Structure 1
Amino acid sequence: MHKLNAMVIAATLFSVSAVAGENLATGSWHQDDIANRCGDSHHSMFEGVRLTEHQRQQMRDLMSQARLDIPRISVSEIEQLHALVTAETFDEPAVKAQVEKMAQQNVIRQVELAKIRNQMYNLLTPEQRQTLSQKHQQRLAELASQVSEMSPSSAQKPVQSATLK
């Protein structure tokens, strides 16, 4: 249950940052610098890919439409979860119901965002797709390294003091 809560809260926060990052996509575009304008706040899906002006315009159009199609994050749902977490007594069934409701809303948002990203990906040339694939492999390697650094097996084990006889 604790892992589910942590995952949903993390996913919600990630979703908030992803949507915020996606909203930047329709802003002003710097030539060859899509990295700071599209995708989530950590890494842009199109980071390092040189886009034509026509491709950038098509992506802006897709994001403009996505703004209308993607369900908004409900601040009231987050407030309700916060109220449950900070209550005098812990109501596990209520928390579970709220977390599941938020998770379902997040799934819907993530599917819509994936659909838009797929449409954007299909605007790329084969060369751009190859560059994107290489960048993706680099990010996966970085992520794997970060995950292995955070795992308990890589953490220093406490030194056990010797017992005196």
Structure 2
Amino acid sequence: MRKLTAVVAILPLMVSCSATLAANVTTSDEAHQQYRGMTTGSMTQFPRNHMFDGIQLTETQRQRMRDLMQQTRHERPSVDITDLETLHELTTADQFNVAAYRAELEKIAQAEVERQLEFARVRHQMYQQLTPAQRAVLEQNYQQRMHELRER
């Protein structure tokens, strides 16, 4: 039950973050300008959004990454409004149906898992576009973020 509650609580955040990630693929300078006003906790809350920060991309790489994200965005809608309507109807019904609500939540959670797998596949394809030197910078940035997370 705790896992299910966690999925429901995190789902809106994941949806908004995934939509934001899909909408923008930026270079490191653009990303730092975009996130400058955010708290430092944003990197630790959603580390996957910062995977390519600090990597200087060529214009060709940048265009390939944009194309990958745009293709993914068009293949799959970010939110199924029907699911949200169903949850609302179940919440406002005269009798609370735990089994129906649980089934709907599990359906939503499974769709979110599938979407996150798709984004992971795209990030992998993006990683494959990097040169060995860019991969080394990415690994160094990753190790630094993990070190910061462990310190907390």
What range is the shorter-chain TM-score in? 0.7 to 0.9
In 2, the alpha carbon distance for the partners of 1:6 and 1:31 equals 32
**Shift in alpha-carbon separation, 1:51–1:113, aligned structure 2, 3 A:** same
Which residue is equivalent to 1:33? 30
- Code of the aligned partner of 2:14: F
Aligned residues: 141
* Alignment match, 2:53: 47
Question: Matched residue of 1:7: which SS?
Answer: helix
Alpha-carbon distance in structure 1 between the residues aligned to 2:31 and 2:143: 19
Structure with higher helix content: 2
Q: 2:75 and 2:105 mapped to 1: Cα distance?
A: 23
Contact 2:28–2:55, Cα closer than 8 Å, also in 1: no
CA positional deviation for 1:100: 0.6
Which residues of structure 2 form unaligned runs of 5+?
36-42
Change (3 A) 1:60 1:95: same
Map of 1:159 onto structure 2: none
What is the match of residue 74 of structure 1?
A: 80
Moved over 4 A (4+): 29-32, 34-37, 86-89
User: RCO greater where, 1 or 2, for CA within 8 Å and sep 6 or more?
Assistant: 2
Mark the runs of 5 or more structure 1 residues left unpaired by the alignment: 147-165
TM-score by length of 2: 0.76
Give the superposition deviation at 1:32: 4.2
How has the CA–CA distance of structure 1 residues 97 and 144 changed in structure 2, closer, same or farther, with 3 Å as cutoff?
A: farther
Task: Say if 2:54 and 2:141, in contact at 8 Å, map to a contact too.
Answer: yes
How far apart are the structure 2 equivalents of 1:49 and 1:100? 37
1:53-90 per-residue CA deviation (whole Å, 9 max, x = no partner) reads 11111111111211222343112312322443455543
Q: Which residue of 2 aligns with 1:84?
A: 90
TM-score by length of 1: 0.70
3-state SS of the aligned residue for 2:50? coil
Partners of 1:33 and 1:45 lie apart in 2 by 14
The percentage of counterpart residues that share the same residue type is 41
RMSD of equivalent CA atoms: 2.7
